[in-house]
Amino acid sequence: MSRLRFGYFIAPMHRAGVNPTAALHRDLDFVEHLDRLGYDEVFIGEHHSAGSEIISSPEVFIAAAASRAPRITFGTGVVSLSYHNPLWAADRIVLLDHLTRGRIVFGVGPGSLPTDSMMIGLNPTETRELLEENLDIIVRLLDGEAVTAKTATHELVDARLQLRPYNPNGIPISVAAVASPTGPRLAGRHGLGLLSIGATLTAEGFDALAHHWNVMEERAAAYGKTVDRDRWSLVGLFHIAETEEQAFREVEHGLVEWSRYFAKVAAFPQMAVETGNVEEVIAFINNSGMGVIGTPEQARAQVQRLWKQSNGFGSMLLMGHDWATPEATNRSAQLFAEEVFPHFQGQAQPTLDAAERAAEVRDGHNQGQLAAIQHMTAKYQQELKDVQS
């Protein structure tokens, strides 16, 4: 496998009632911050209701962010494919692919907020069925085919794209997976990437990561496709600070509000913990395997655990949230880049080895330095004597 990548999965998550304009521009600033820190990827979500996840079009947001973050690869995290005409969804992603010069991953899913799909008359079963139909159409369109098809919501007649993707190898597609086998099943069937969201828990002995990968491999074999661990992204929760106590204090800012959202509003039972006690929510996140509120050392241990549990993956995405103030959140992202990245990207050990080698020979070199100082001091004293004489 290639170098482990790191990134953020930004739904985004903001407390209902805050200034939405300021929140969106803060998201843009944060993406720019991540680009400077050396993060590899940023995924942007699509939501239309409930007042907390307020980006309705990841494509529009990415277009605004791409010029401010010229190095990062952007992903849609995710386009709720069941809500859209598949032809126009494919057409928009190709346009975005060209605008970013190929820095796009097309993340797709059925849509996670019931209040979104209800507004267009779809129930959760229908959205998953439509995802399967629309994804099949989009794969064919991006491969350059002309498609005639009829779904429950749209009809295509000899439909085709007027642009080819920016890169010759096309646009990478990743399918979201939470609890059901829908995502890994479709990713395996088409040989696509996978976004495992909330699958880092180890509660009740259920290994969601192994389940996701096993379903992918089984479906890929059934359809004569191959799947690549390098295109598997895990999404987890982190907030780190210099000390555990500091991290705990910082998340008092918004952690309980976040937990209430998942317990009372979003259909995401894996993250739901019904309590108004910040200590209990911290304990739930840290003890369930869902994430880390703590130190860089604890974050490294979490990534290492996930690597071992999964047998390897391509990227670790930190889920965006407003647990802490923007300043503390920025610092957490910085600490992660400085203290966690190097241990998984091959950069930590060479510097540690160099420091150890330097320490081992320090005494000898130190004596040489002292001798050089004494030599030059004596030389200067002799020069003074020569002048005086």
pLDDT tens by residue, 327-340: 999 999 999 999 99
Q: Whole-structure pTM over 0.85, yes or no?
A: yes
Q: How far apart are CA 281 and CA 296, in angstroms?
A: 20
Indicate whether 120 pLDDT > 90. yes
Quote the tokens at residue 267.
């259909």
Angle of helix 326-339 versus helix 296-310 axis, rounded to 10: 60
Angle of helix 255-264 versus helix 278-288 axis, rounded to 10: 70
pLDDT tens by residue, 40-83: 999 999 999 999 999 999 999 999 999 999 999 999 999 999 99
pLDDT of residue 269: 61
Torsion over CA: 60, 64, 65, 67 (sign): positive
The band of 206, judged by pLDDT with boundaries at 50, 70 and 90, is: low
Tell which residue, 63, 72, 87, 80, has the closest CA to residue 11.
80
In angstroms, the Cα distances linking 350 to 265, 344, 357 are 47, 12, 10
Tokens 């860089």 correspond to 296
**Residue 172 in contact with residue 227, Cβ under 8 Å?**
no
* 285 SS3 class: helix
**Residue 29 in contact with residue 20, Cβ under 8 Å?**
no
pLDDT of residue 380: 86
pLDDT tens by residue, 294-320: 999 999 999 999 999 999 999 999 999
Question: In the predicted model, what is the mean pLDDT of residues 113-138?
Answer: 95
Angle of helix 182-190 versus helix 208-222 axis, rounded to 10: 40
Indicate whether 113 pLDDT > 80. yes
Indicate whether 349 pLDDT > 80. no
> Omega of the bond prior to 110 within 30 degrees of 0, cis?
no
pLDDT tens by residue, 98-109: 999 999 999 999
Tell which residue, 198, 189, 263, 182, has the closest CA to residue 220.
189
In angstroms, the Cα distances linking 45 to 90, 113, 361, 379 are 16, 12, 53, 70
Indicate whether 219 pLDDT > 60. yes
Quick one: how far is CA 27 from the chain centroid?
A: 14
Quote the tokens at residue 359.
């320490």
Question: In the predicted model, what is the mean pLDDT of residues 233-262?
Answer: 95
pLDDT of residue 205: 46
| Domain map (residue ranges) of the chain | 5-346, 358-388
pLDDT of residue 245: 98
Question: In the predicted model, what is the mean pLDDT of residues 126-136?
Answer: 96
pLDDT of residue 357: 81
Helices within the chain (DSSP H only) = 20-37, 58-66, 86-99, 114-118, 124-142, 182-190, 208-222, 244-250, 255-264, 278-288, 296-310, 326-339, 341-344, 348-360, 362-388
Angle of helix 326-339 versus helix 20-37 axis, rounded to 10: 20
Q: Was domain 5-346 assigned CATH 3.20.20.30?
A: yes
pLDDT of residue 33: 98
Q: What percent of the chain has pLDDT over 70?
A: 96
Indicate whether 262 pLDDT > 70. yes
Question: In the predicted model, what is the mean pLDDT of residues 254-272?
Answer: 80
pLDDT of residue 365: 78
pLDDT tens by residue, 5-39: 999 999 999 999 999 999 999 999 999 999 999 99
Per-residue exposure over 209-244, b if at least 16 CB sit within 10 Å of its own CB, e if not: bebbbebbeebbeeeebebebbbbbbbbbbbbbeeb
Tell which residue, 192, 196, 200, 201, has the closest CA to residue 180.
196
Q: How far apart are CA 39 and CA 32, in angstroms?
A: 10
pLDDT of residue 36: 98
The band of 370, judged by pLDDT with boundaries at 50, 70 and 90, is: confident
Tell which residue, 85, 64, 89, 51, has the closest CA to residue 261.
51
Mean of the per-residue pLDDT values of the chain = 92
Q: How far apart are CA 213 and CA 185, in angstroms?
A: 9
pLDDT tens by residue, 149-194: 999 999 999 999 999 999 999 999 999 998 778 899 999 999 999 9
